[in-house]
Structure 1
Protein backbone atom coordinates (compact mmCIF):
# COMPACT_ATOMS: atom_id res chain seq x y z
CA UNK A 1 0.00 0.00 0.00
CA UNK A 2 1.38 3.36 -1.03
CA UNK A 3 2.21 5.70 1.82
CA UNK A 4 3.07 9.34 1.34
CA UNK A 5 3.90 12.30 3.53
CA UNK A 6 3.11 15.97 2.95
CA UNK A 7 3.93 17.87 0.86
CA UNK A 8 2.92 16.26 -2.43
CA UNK A 9 5.08 17.73 -5.19
CA UNK A 10 4.07 15.89 -8.35
CA UNK A 11 1.45 13.60 -9.83
CA UNK A 12 2.45 10.70 -12.11
CA UNK A 13 0.01 10.06 -14.92
CA UNK A 14 -1.05 6.49 -15.73
CA UNK A 15 0.31 6.88 -19.26
CA UNK A 16 3.78 7.36 -17.89
CA UNK A 17 3.96 11.09 -18.49
CA UNK A 18 4.81 13.48 -15.73
CA UNK A 19 2.51 16.44 -15.25
CA UNK A 20 3.99 19.76 -14.24
CA UNK A 21 3.86 20.32 -10.46
CA UNK A 22 0.52 21.69 -9.27
CA UNK A 23 0.32 25.03 -7.59
CA UNK A 24 0.64 24.63 -3.78
CA UNK A 25 -2.94 25.77 -3.20
CA UNK A 26 -4.27 23.30 -5.79
CA UNK A 27 -2.25 20.36 -4.44
CA UNK A 28 -3.45 21.00 -0.89
CA UNK A 29 -7.13 20.70 -1.83
CA UNK A 30 -7.15 16.90 -1.83
CA UNK A 31 -5.45 16.44 1.55
CA UNK A 32 -7.06 17.82 4.71
CA UNK A 33 -5.13 19.54 7.45
CA UNK A 34 -5.79 19.39 11.17
CA UNK A 35 -4.94 22.07 13.71
CA UNK A 36 -5.08 21.67 17.48
CA UNK A 37 -7.86 23.70 19.09
CA UNK A 38 -7.40 22.79 22.75
CA UNK A 39 -6.13 20.16 25.15
CA UNK A 40 -7.88 19.10 28.37
CA UNK A 41 -6.13 17.53 31.35
CA UNK A 42 -7.14 15.56 34.42
CA UNK A 43 -8.19 12.18 33.02
CA UNK A 44 -7.09 8.67 33.97
CA UNK A 45 -6.14 6.50 30.99
CA UNK A 46 -8.83 8.01 28.74
CA UNK A 47 -9.74 5.85 25.76
CA UNK A 48 -13.18 6.38 24.20
CA UNK A 49 -15.41 9.26 23.11
CA UNK A 50 -19.11 9.71 22.43
CA UNK A 51 -21.11 12.87 21.76
CA UNK A 52 -23.24 14.10 24.68
CA UNK A 53 -26.69 15.59 23.98
CA UNK A 54 -25.66 19.02 25.31
CA UNK A 55 -22.87 19.43 22.76
CA UNK A 56 -20.19 18.11 25.10
CA UNK A 57 -18.51 14.71 25.17
CA UNK A 58 -18.51 11.51 27.18
CA UNK A 59 -14.96 10.28 27.86
CA UNK A 60 -14.26 6.75 29.10
CA UNK A 61 -11.44 6.38 31.64
CA UNK A 62 -9.86 2.93 31.98
CA UNK A 63 -7.81 3.80 35.10
CA UNK A 64 -5.09 1.16 34.93
CA UNK A 65 -4.90 -1.98 32.86
CA UNK A 66 -7.40 -2.43 30.06
CA UNK A 67 -8.26 -6.01 31.00
CA UNK A 68 -8.39 -5.71 34.80
CA UNK A 69 -11.74 -6.05 36.55
CA UNK A 70 -11.07 -3.64 39.40
CA UNK A 71 -14.17 -1.43 39.43
CA UNK A 72 -12.05 1.73 39.08
CA UNK A 73 -13.06 2.75 35.54
CA UNK A 74 -15.56 5.51 34.87
CA UNK A 75 -17.14 7.82 32.29
CA UNK A 76 -16.59 11.57 32.61
CA UNK A 77 -18.53 14.42 31.00
CA UNK A 78 -16.48 17.04 29.17
CA UNK A 79 -17.92 20.38 28.02
CA UNK A 80 -17.63 21.52 24.40
CA UNK A 81 -14.77 23.84 25.37
CA UNK A 82 -12.72 21.36 27.41
CA UNK A 83 -13.90 21.60 31.04
CA UNK A 84 -14.63 18.44 33.02
CA UNK A 85 -18.17 19.19 34.21
CA UNK A 86 -18.79 15.84 35.91
CA UNK A 87 -15.93 13.45 36.61
CA UNK A 88 -18.14 10.50 37.55
CA UNK A 89 -21.05 10.92 35.17
CA UNK A 90 -22.40 7.42 35.84
CA UNK A 91 -21.75 4.36 38.00
CA UNK A 92 -18.20 3.05 37.96
CA UNK A 93 -17.12 0.26 35.61
CA UNK A 94 -14.04 -1.93 35.28
CA UNK A 95 -12.22 -0.71 32.16
CA UNK A 96 -14.63 1.15 29.83
CA UNK A 97 -13.39 1.84 26.32
CA UNK A 98 -15.53 2.34 23.22
CA UNK A 99 -18.92 4.03 23.51
CA UNK A 100 -21.89 4.60 21.21
CA UNK A 101 -25.30 6.24 21.54
CA UNK A 102 -28.52 4.74 20.20
CA UNK A 103 -32.17 5.47 21.06
CA UNK A 104 -31.39 7.49 24.18
CA UNK A 105 -28.89 5.01 25.63
CA UNK A 106 -25.12 5.17 25.91
CA UNK A 107 -23.47 1.78 25.35
CA UNK A 108 -19.99 1.30 26.86
CA UNK A 109 -17.75 -1.71 26.28
CA UNK A 110 -16.28 -3.12 29.49
CA UNK A 111 -13.93 -6.10 28.87
CA UNK A 112 -16.60 -8.78 28.31
CA UNK A 113 -19.74 -6.74 28.99
CA UNK A 114 -21.53 -3.88 27.31
CA UNK A 115 -23.16 -1.60 29.88
CA UNK A 116 -26.02 0.79 29.06
CA UNK A 117 -26.81 4.16 30.64
CA UNK A 118 -29.54 6.71 30.04
CA UNK A 119 -27.86 9.33 27.91
CA UNK A 120 -29.75 12.19 29.58
CA UNK A 121 -29.18 11.31 33.24
CA UNK A 122 -26.48 8.61 33.48
CA UNK A 123 -28.88 6.12 35.06
CA UNK A 124 -27.69 2.55 34.61
CA UNK A 125 -30.08 0.66 32.33
CA UNK A 126 -28.50 -2.78 32.40
CA UNK A 127 -25.76 -4.73 30.69
CA UNK A 128 -25.22 -7.37 28.06
CA UNK A 129 -22.64 -10.03 28.86
CA UNK A 130 -20.89 -11.42 25.80
CA UNK A 131 -19.84 -14.98 26.54
CA UNK A 132 -16.38 -15.78 25.24
CA UNK A 133 -15.41 -12.16 24.60
CA UNK A 134 -11.78 -11.45 25.44
CA UNK A 135 -11.21 -7.71 25.06
CA UNK A 136 -14.20 -5.66 23.92
CA UNK A 137 -12.96 -2.40 22.48
CA UNK A 138 -14.82 -0.01 20.17
CA UNK A 139 -18.55 0.44 19.56
CA UNK A 140 -20.66 1.98 16.80
CA UNK A 141 -24.37 2.31 15.99
CA UNK A 142 -25.31 0.90 12.59
CA UNK A 143 -28.49 -0.26 10.94
CA UNK A 144 -30.53 0.02 14.15
CA UNK A 145 -28.13 -1.96 16.35
CA UNK A 146 -24.87 -1.56 18.27
CA UNK A 147 -21.74 -3.30 17.03
CA UNK A 148 -18.70 -3.89 19.24
CA UNK A 149 -15.21 -5.15 18.41
CA UNK A 150 -13.37 -7.85 20.32
CA UNK A 151 -9.67 -7.10 19.85
CA UNK A 152 -8.67 -10.37 21.47
CA UNK A 153 -10.65 -12.65 19.17
CA UNK A 154 -10.80 -11.03 15.69
CA UNK A 155 -14.55 -10.69 16.17
CA UNK A 156 -17.39 -8.18 15.91
CA UNK A 157 -20.62 -8.65 17.87
CA UNK A 158 -24.07 -7.23 17.17
CA UNK A 159 -26.30 -6.11 20.05
CA UNK A 160 -30.03 -5.70 19.51
CA UNK A 161 -33.01 -5.90 21.88
CA UNK A 162 -30.72 -6.52 24.85
CA UNK A 163 -28.99 -9.56 23.36
CA UNK A 164 -25.63 -10.07 21.64
CA UNK A 165 -24.70 -12.35 18.76
CA UNK A 166 -21.47 -12.98 16.90
CA UNK A 167 -21.77 -11.02 13.67
CA UNK A 168 -18.37 -11.49 12.05
CA UNK A 169 -15.16 -13.34 12.84
CA UNK A 170 -12.27 -13.44 10.39
CA UNK A 171 -8.51 -13.95 10.72
CA UNK A 172 -8.02 -10.76 8.70
CA UNK A 173 -9.57 -8.91 11.65
CA UNK A 174 -6.77 -9.88 14.04
CA UNK A 175 -6.43 -7.06 16.55
CA UNK A 176 -9.70 -5.49 15.39
CA UNK A 177 -10.17 -2.10 17.01
CA UNK A 178 -12.09 0.86 15.57
CA UNK A 179 -15.59 0.61 14.12
CA UNK A 180 -17.57 3.23 12.19
CA UNK A 181 -21.03 2.48 10.79
CA UNK A 182 -21.59 4.59 7.70
CA UNK A 183 -24.43 4.19 5.23
CA UNK A 184 -24.46 0.73 3.69
CA UNK A 185 -21.05 -0.26 5.04
CA UNK A 186 -18.99 -0.38 8.19
CA UNK A 187 -15.40 0.85 8.38
CA UNK A 188 -13.14 -1.33 10.55
CA UNK A 189 -9.53 -0.80 11.67
CA UNK A 190 -7.11 -3.45 12.87
CA UNK A 191 -3.99 -3.25 15.01
CA UNK A 192 -2.17 -6.35 13.74
CA UNK A 193 -1.83 -5.26 10.10
CA UNK A 194 -2.80 -1.63 10.63
CA UNK A 195 -5.55 -2.00 8.05
CA UNK A 196 -8.73 -0.12 7.25
CA UNK A 197 -11.49 -2.39 5.92
CA UNK A 198 -14.90 -1.80 4.43
CA UNK A 199 -17.49 -4.41 5.47
CA UNK A 200 -20.91 -4.96 3.91
CA UNK A 201 -24.01 -5.94 5.88
CA UNK A 202 -23.38 -9.49 4.69
CA UNK A 203 -19.90 -9.45 6.24
CA UNK A 204 -17.87 -9.14 3.03
CA UNK A 205 -14.47 -7.60 3.79
CA UNK A 206 -12.56 -5.28 1.44
CA UNK A 207 -9.22 -3.83 2.48
CA UNK A 208 -8.96 -0.10 1.74
CA UNK A 209 -5.52 0.60 3.23
CA UNK A 210 -2.89 -0.98 5.47
CA UNK A 211 0.39 -0.27 7.26
CA UNK A 212 -0.97 2.09 9.94
CA UNK A 213 0.70 0.77 13.08
CA UNK A 214 -1.88 -0.24 15.72
CA UNK A 215 -4.77 1.49 13.95
CA UNK A 216 -7.46 2.69 16.34
CA UNK A 217 -10.25 5.24 15.83
CA UNK A 218 -11.90 6.12 12.50
CA UNK A 219 -13.67 9.36 11.54
CA UNK A 220 -15.11 10.70 8.26
CA UNK A 221 -13.58 13.85 6.78
CA UNK A 222 -15.93 16.46 5.29
CA UNK A 223 -15.47 16.23 1.54
CA UNK A 224 -14.34 12.60 1.52
CA UNK A 225 -11.86 10.17 3.03
CA UNK A 226 -11.19 9.22 6.64
CA UNK A 227 -8.95 10.04 9.56
CA UNK A 228 -7.49 7.01 11.31
CA UNK A 229 -5.54 7.21 14.56
CA UNK A 230 -2.65 4.91 15.44
CA UNK A 231 -2.52 4.78 19.20
CA UNK A 232 1.31 4.94 19.47
CA UNK A 233 1.11 8.55 18.25
CA UNK A 234 -0.09 9.08 14.68
CA UNK A 235 -3.13 10.47 12.88
CA UNK A 236 -3.47 9.46 9.24
CA UNK A 237 -5.66 10.52 6.36
CA UNK A 238 -6.90 7.71 4.11
CA UNK A 239 -8.15 8.95 0.76
CA UNK A 240 -10.90 7.36 -1.30
CA UNK A 241 -8.09 5.80 -3.37
CA UNK A 242 -6.61 4.08 -0.31
CA UNK A 243 -3.51 6.26 -0.19
CA UNK A 244 -2.35 6.92 3.39
CA UNK A 245 -0.99 10.35 4.36
CA UNK A 246 0.34 10.82 7.89
CA UNK A 247 -0.79 14.18 9.28
CA UNK A 248 0.45 13.86 12.87
CA UNK A 249 3.44 11.82 14.03
CA UNK A 250 4.64 12.26 17.60
CA UNK A 251 4.98 10.76 21.05
CA UNK A 252 1.50 11.67 22.33
CA UNK A 253 -0.79 8.63 22.18
CA UNK A 254 -3.72 8.98 19.79
CA UNK A 255 -6.49 6.62 20.84
CA UNK A 256 -10.17 6.36 19.89
CA UNK A 257 -10.32 9.24 17.41
CA UNK A 258 -13.86 10.52 16.80
CA UNK A 259 -14.99 13.09 14.23
CA UNK A 260 -18.10 15.22 14.78
CA UNK A 261 -18.55 17.70 11.93
CA UNK A 262 -15.20 19.44 11.60
CA UNK A 263 -14.17 18.60 15.17
CA UNK A 264 -11.71 15.78 15.82
CA UNK A 265 -11.52 14.63 19.44
CA UNK A 266 -8.86 12.17 20.55
CA UNK A 267 -8.14 10.76 24.04
CA UNK A 268 -4.44 10.47 24.88
CA UNK A 269 -4.25 7.43 27.17
CA UNK A 270 -0.61 7.71 28.22
CA UNK A 271 -0.74 11.47 28.81
CA UNK A 272 -4.11 11.51 30.64
CA UNK A 273 -5.35 14.26 28.32
CA UNK A 274 -7.94 14.76 25.59
CA UNK A 275 -7.06 16.76 22.49
CA UNK A 276 -9.46 18.50 20.14
CA UNK A 277 -8.45 19.36 16.59
CA UNK A 278 -10.19 21.12 13.73
CA UNK A 279 -10.08 19.51 10.30
CA UNK A 280 -10.29 21.51 7.08
CA UNK A 281 -9.30 21.45 3.45
Structure 2
Protein backbone atom coordinates (compact mmCIF):
# COMPACT_ATOMS: atom_id res chain seq x y z
CA UNK A 1 0.00 0.00 0.00
CA UNK A 2 2.88 2.39 0.86
CA UNK A 3 4.45 1.85 -2.56
CA UNK A 4 1.08 2.39 -4.25
CA UNK A 5 0.53 5.71 -2.48
CA UNK A 6 4.06 6.78 -3.40
CA UNK A 7 3.32 6.12 -7.08
CA UNK A 8 0.14 8.19 -6.84
CA UNK A 9 2.12 11.11 -5.43
CA UNK A 10 4.92 10.81 -7.97
CA UNK A 11 2.56 10.87 -10.93
CA UNK A 12 0.29 13.59 -9.55
CA UNK A 13 -2.69 11.28 -9.24
CA UNK A 14 -5.17 11.83 -6.46
CA UNK A 15 -7.74 9.37 -5.23
CA UNK A 16 -10.08 9.58 -2.29
CA UNK A 17 -12.39 7.07 -0.71
CA UNK A 18 -15.29 9.45 -1.28
CA UNK A 19 -14.69 9.62 -5.04
CA UNK A 20 -14.27 5.87 -5.32
CA UNK A 21 -17.25 4.93 -3.18
CA UNK A 22 -19.81 7.70 -3.72
CA UNK A 23 -23.31 6.23 -3.55
CA UNK A 24 -26.69 7.84 -4.19
CA UNK A 25 -28.35 9.27 -1.10
CA UNK A 26 -31.80 8.76 -2.65
CA UNK A 27 -33.17 6.45 -5.34
CA UNK A 28 -36.56 7.44 -6.73
CA UNK A 29 -38.53 4.60 -8.32
CA UNK A 30 -41.61 4.26 -10.53
CA UNK A 31 -40.13 5.42 -13.85
CA UNK A 32 -39.94 3.64 -17.20
CA UNK A 33 -36.59 4.08 -18.93
CA UNK A 34 -36.09 7.71 -17.84
CA UNK A 35 -33.80 9.75 -20.07
CA UNK A 36 -33.79 13.37 -18.91
CA UNK A 37 -34.60 15.35 -15.76
CA UNK A 38 -35.09 19.09 -15.29
CA UNK A 39 -36.18 21.35 -12.41
CA UNK A 40 -38.32 24.49 -12.46
CA UNK A 41 -37.90 27.01 -9.64
CA UNK A 42 -41.29 28.61 -10.30
CA UNK A 43 -43.40 25.47 -9.91
CA UNK A 44 -40.89 23.71 -7.60
CA UNK A 45 -41.31 20.49 -9.60
CA UNK A 46 -38.89 18.12 -11.26
CA UNK A 47 -39.89 16.86 -14.71
CA UNK A 48 -38.64 13.52 -16.05
CA UNK A 49 -38.95 12.14 -19.58
CA UNK A 50 -39.73 8.41 -19.80
CA UNK A 51 -38.96 6.55 -23.02
CA UNK A 52 -40.98 3.55 -21.75
CA UNK A 53 -40.92 0.44 -23.95
CA UNK A 54 -40.67 2.28 -27.28
CA UNK A 55 -44.16 1.26 -28.34
CA UNK A 56 -46.01 4.01 -30.15
CA UNK A 57 -47.63 6.40 -27.69
CA UNK A 58 -46.35 4.78 -24.49
CA UNK A 59 -43.83 7.52 -23.61
CA UNK A 60 -44.66 10.00 -20.85
CA UNK A 61 -43.49 12.84 -18.63
CA UNK A 62 -43.37 12.54 -14.84
CA UNK A 63 -43.81 15.45 -12.42
CA UNK A 64 -42.23 15.13 -8.97
CA UNK A 65 -42.45 17.73 -6.18
CA UNK A 66 -39.37 19.24 -4.55
CA UNK A 67 -39.47 17.05 -1.43
CA UNK A 68 -40.91 13.99 -3.23
CA UNK A 69 -44.35 14.16 -1.53
CA UNK A 70 -46.15 14.40 -4.89
CA UNK A 71 -45.11 11.96 -7.60
CA UNK A 72 -47.25 11.96 -10.74
CA UNK A 73 -45.41 9.52 -12.92
CA UNK A 74 -47.88 9.60 -15.82
CA UNK A 75 -48.43 13.36 -15.73
CA UNK A 76 -48.26 13.84 -19.53
CA UNK A 77 -48.91 10.79 -21.72
CA UNK A 78 -49.21 9.98 -25.41
CA UNK A 79 -45.57 10.53 -26.37
CA UNK A 80 -43.48 8.11 -28.40
CA UNK A 81 -39.83 8.17 -27.29
CA UNK A 82 -39.34 11.42 -25.32
CA UNK A 83 -35.78 12.41 -24.47
CA UNK A 84 -34.38 15.89 -23.81
CA UNK A 85 -36.34 18.42 -21.74
CA UNK A 86 -36.25 22.21 -21.60
CA UNK A 87 -38.31 24.89 -19.86
CA UNK A 88 -38.88 28.31 -21.39
CA UNK A 89 -41.30 30.55 -19.50
CA UNK A 90 -44.53 28.63 -18.94
CA UNK A 91 -43.73 26.09 -21.63
CA UNK A 92 -42.14 22.67 -21.30
CA UNK A 93 -40.47 21.23 -24.40
CA UNK A 94 -39.38 17.66 -25.11
CA UNK A 95 -37.77 16.06 -28.13
CA UNK A 96 -39.84 13.13 -29.35
CA UNK A 97 -38.03 11.26 -32.16
CA UNK A 98 -38.63 13.68 -35.07
CA UNK A 99 -40.94 16.13 -33.31
CA UNK A 100 -40.61 18.87 -30.74
CA UNK A 101 -43.54 18.71 -28.34
CA UNK A 102 -44.61 21.92 -26.62
CA UNK A 103 -46.59 21.53 -23.37
CA UNK A 104 -48.15 23.80 -20.77
CA UNK A 105 -45.87 23.72 -17.72
CA UNK A 106 -48.77 24.16 -15.29
CA UNK A 107 -51.59 22.06 -16.75
CA UNK A 108 -49.63 19.39 -18.62
CA UNK A 109 -51.64 20.02 -21.77
CA UNK A 110 -49.90 19.23 -25.06
CA UNK A 111 -50.14 22.46 -27.01
CA UNK A 112 -48.56 21.41 -30.28
CA UNK A 113 -46.24 18.90 -31.91
CA UNK A 114 -43.74 20.56 -34.22
CA UNK A 115 -42.34 18.23 -36.90
CA UNK A 116 -38.65 18.68 -37.71
CA UNK A 117 -38.09 17.95 -41.39
CA UNK A 118 -35.05 15.74 -41.99
CA UNK A 119 -34.56 14.85 -38.32
CA UNK A 120 -33.77 11.24 -37.41
CA UNK A 121 -33.45 11.07 -33.63
CA UNK A 122 -33.75 14.36 -31.76
CA UNK A 123 -32.16 14.46 -28.34
CA UNK A 124 -31.01 17.27 -26.06
CA UNK A 125 -32.26 20.89 -26.20
CA UNK A 126 -30.52 24.06 -25.01
CA UNK A 127 -31.62 27.70 -25.11
CA UNK A 128 -29.71 30.90 -25.88
CA UNK A 129 -30.12 34.41 -24.48
CA UNK A 130 -32.57 35.38 -27.25
CA UNK A 131 -34.90 32.46 -26.65
CA UNK A 132 -33.75 30.35 -29.60
CA UNK A 133 -33.78 26.65 -28.81
CA UNK A 134 -31.15 24.30 -30.24
CA UNK A 135 -31.76 20.55 -30.52
CA UNK A 136 -29.25 17.80 -31.19
CA UNK A 137 -29.97 15.03 -33.69
CA UNK A 138 -27.72 12.16 -32.66
CA UNK A 139 -28.34 9.87 -35.62
CA UNK A 140 -28.44 12.72 -38.14
CA UNK A 141 -25.19 14.35 -36.95
CA UNK A 142 -27.04 17.65 -36.82
CA UNK A 143 -28.04 20.54 -34.61
CA UNK A 144 -31.42 22.20 -35.28
CA UNK A 145 -32.53 25.65 -34.22
CA UNK A 146 -36.06 26.80 -33.41
CA UNK A 147 -36.81 30.51 -33.04
CA UNK A 148 -39.45 32.02 -30.76
CA UNK A 149 -42.03 31.84 -33.56
CA UNK A 150 -41.63 28.07 -33.68
CA UNK A 151 -39.78 28.07 -37.01
CA UNK A 152 -37.19 25.29 -37.26
CA UNK A 153 -34.05 25.14 -39.38
CA UNK A 154 -31.12 22.76 -39.62
CA UNK A 155 -28.44 24.95 -38.05
CA UNK A 156 -25.50 22.60 -38.61
CA UNK A 157 -24.97 19.20 -40.21
CA UNK A 158 -21.47 17.75 -39.97
CA UNK A 159 -19.99 14.34 -39.20
CA UNK A 160 -17.40 16.14 -37.06
CA UNK A 161 -20.18 16.49 -34.47
CA UNK A 162 -19.53 12.79 -33.73
CA UNK A 163 -23.25 12.05 -33.18
CA UNK A 164 -24.16 14.94 -30.86
CA UNK A 165 -26.08 14.18 -27.70
CA UNK A 166 -25.99 16.74 -24.87
CA UNK A 167 -25.92 20.48 -25.64
CA UNK A 168 -25.03 23.51 -23.52
CA UNK A 169 -25.11 27.08 -24.82
CA UNK A 170 -22.46 29.60 -23.69
CA UNK A 171 -22.13 33.21 -24.91
CA UNK A 172 -19.61 32.18 -27.58
CA UNK A 173 -20.10 28.46 -28.18
CA UNK A 174 -22.45 25.53 -28.13
CA UNK A 175 -20.82 22.78 -26.11
CA UNK A 176 -21.56 19.28 -27.37
CA UNK A 177 -21.36 15.97 -25.51
CA UNK A 178 -20.94 13.50 -28.36
CA UNK A 179 -21.98 9.87 -28.35
CA UNK A 180 -19.34 8.88 -30.87
CA UNK A 181 -19.58 6.82 -34.02
CA UNK A 182 -17.36 3.72 -34.25
CA UNK A 183 -15.25 5.31 -31.50
CA UNK A 184 -15.67 7.03 -28.15
CA UNK A 185 -17.25 10.45 -28.26
CA UNK A 186 -15.64 13.71 -27.18
CA UNK A 187 -16.64 17.02 -25.68
CA UNK A 188 -16.75 19.55 -28.50
CA UNK A 189 -17.41 23.24 -28.91
CA UNK A 190 -19.10 24.89 -31.88
CA UNK A 191 -18.45 28.58 -32.44
CA UNK A 192 -21.86 30.26 -32.58
CA UNK A 193 -20.67 32.79 -35.14
CA UNK A 194 -18.59 30.72 -37.55
CA UNK A 195 -20.03 27.26 -36.70
CA UNK A 196 -16.45 25.97 -36.56
CA UNK A 197 -16.21 22.68 -34.63
CA UNK A 198 -13.26 22.01 -32.35
CA UNK A 199 -12.49 19.38 -29.73
CA UNK A 200 -12.13 20.15 -26.04
CA UNK A 201 -11.07 16.54 -25.49
CA UNK A 202 -9.09 14.73 -28.13
CA UNK A 203 -8.86 11.02 -27.43
CA UNK A 204 -12.48 10.06 -26.89
CA UNK A 205 -14.09 9.52 -23.50
CA UNK A 206 -17.15 7.35 -24.04
CA UNK A 207 -20.82 7.60 -24.99
CA UNK A 208 -21.23 11.14 -23.71
CA UNK A 209 -24.74 12.14 -22.71
CA UNK A 210 -25.54 15.00 -20.33
CA UNK A 211 -23.65 18.26 -19.79
CA UNK A 212 -24.31 20.73 -16.96
CA UNK A 213 -22.56 23.80 -15.62
CA UNK A 214 -20.63 23.05 -12.42
CA UNK A 215 -18.97 26.47 -11.99
CA UNK A 216 -17.72 29.25 -14.28
CA UNK A 217 -15.87 27.51 -17.09
CA UNK A 218 -16.28 24.02 -15.59
CA UNK A 219 -18.90 21.42 -16.51
CA UNK A 220 -20.19 18.07 -15.32
CA UNK A 221 -20.59 15.44 -18.04
CA UNK A 222 -21.95 11.89 -18.00
CA UNK A 223 -20.83 8.79 -19.85
CA UNK A 224 -23.87 6.61 -20.53
CA UNK A 225 -21.82 3.49 -21.25
CA UNK A 226 -19.79 3.38 -18.02
CA UNK A 227 -21.77 5.52 -15.58
CA UNK A 228 -18.72 7.74 -15.07
CA UNK A 229 -19.44 11.32 -14.08
CA UNK A 230 -16.64 13.76 -14.91
CA UNK A 231 -15.89 17.43 -14.49
CA UNK A 232 -14.11 19.20 -17.32
CA UNK A 233 -12.88 22.71 -18.07
CA UNK A 234 -12.50 24.46 -21.41
CA UNK A 235 -8.85 23.44 -21.60
CA UNK A 236 -9.86 19.78 -21.59
CA UNK A 237 -8.71 18.99 -18.05
CA UNK A 238 -10.83 15.98 -17.09
CA UNK A 239 -11.52 14.71 -13.57
CA UNK A 240 -13.57 11.65 -12.72
CA UNK A 241 -15.92 12.66 -9.90
CA UNK A 242 -17.57 9.29 -9.30
CA UNK A 243 -19.02 6.25 -11.05
CA UNK A 244 -22.69 5.31 -10.95
CA UNK A 245 -23.80 2.52 -13.30
CA UNK A 246 -24.30 2.04 -17.01
CA UNK A 247 -27.18 4.05 -18.55
CA UNK A 248 -26.81 7.33 -16.63
CA UNK A 249 -28.51 9.72 -19.02
CA UNK A 250 -29.12 13.47 -19.30
CA UNK A 251 -27.99 14.64 -15.86
CA UNK A 252 -29.15 17.62 -13.82
CA UNK A 253 -26.98 19.58 -11.38
CA UNK A 254 -28.49 22.10 -8.97
CA UNK A 255 -25.83 24.48 -7.72
CA UNK A 256 -27.79 25.81 -4.73
CA UNK A 257 -27.96 22.47 -2.94
CA UNK A 258 -25.01 20.87 -4.77
CA UNK A 259 -27.02 17.81 -5.78
CA UNK A 260 -26.61 15.72 -8.92
CA UNK A 261 -29.68 13.99 -10.40
CA UNK A 262 -29.15 11.01 -12.70
CA UNK A 263 -31.95 9.45 -14.75
CA UNK A 264 -30.95 5.78 -14.83
CA UNK A 265 -32.43 4.36 -18.00
CA UNK A 266 -31.95 0.65 -17.42
CA UNK A 267 -32.66 0.80 -13.69
CA UNK A 268 -35.97 2.71 -14.13
CA UNK A 269 -34.95 5.08 -11.33
CA UNK A 270 -33.61 8.57 -10.65
CA UNK A 271 -30.49 8.58 -8.46
CA UNK A 272 -29.54 11.62 -6.40
CA UNK A 273 -25.95 12.30 -5.34
CA UNK A 274 -24.61 14.82 -2.87
CA UNK A 275 -21.76 16.75 -4.54
CA UNK A 276 -20.67 18.70 -1.45
Q: Distance in 2 between matches of 1:54 and 1:225?
A: 28
Give the CA deviation at 1:81. Answer: 3.2
Does residue 44 of structure 1 match 2:44?
Answer: no
Could you tell me the TM-score, scaled by structure 2's length? 0.84
Q: Does 1:205 align with 2:197?
A: yes
Q: Please state how far the C-alpha of 1:90 moved relative to its aligned partner.
A: 2.0
Higher relative contact order structure (alpha carbons within 8 Å, sequence separation ≥ 6): 1
| TM-score, length basis structure 1 | 0.83
Give the corresponding residue for 2:179.
191
2:140 paired residue number: 153
Contact 2:211–2:251 (Cα < 8 Å) also in 1: yes
Q: Which residue of 2 aligns with 1:61?
A: 50
Q: What is residue 99 of structure 1 aligned with on the other side? A: 85
Q: CA deviation at 1:73?
A: 0.1
Aligned length: 256
Distance in 2 (CA, whole Å) between partners of 1:200 and 1:8 is 38
Q: Which runs of 5+ in 2 are unaligned?
A: 1-6
Supply the distance in 2 between the matched residues of 1:195 and 1:229 (Cα, whole angstroms): 11
1:169 to 140, 157, 177: 157
What are the Cα deviations for residues 7-54 of structure 1, in whole angstroms up to 9, with x where unaligned? 963577xxxxxxxx9xx8xx99xx9x9763311111000001122332
Where does residue 3 of structure 2 map in the other structure? Answer: none
Cα deviation 1:100-151 (Å, max 9, x = unaligned): 1113211100000000011122121212101111111111112311111101
CA contact (8 A) 1:221 1:279 kept: no
Q: Distance in 2 between matches of 1:9 and 1:106?
A: 48
Q: Which residue of 1 aligns with 2:112?
A: 126
Q: Are the counterparts in 1 of residues 23 and 244 from structure 2 also a CA contact under 8 Å?
A: no
Residues of 1 paired with 2:57 and 2:26: CA distance? 30
- The aligned counterpart of 2:223 is 230
What is the aligned counterpart of 2:269 among 254, 273, 277? 273
Check 1:252–1:83 CA distance in 2 against 1; reply closer, same or farther (3 A cut). Answer: farther
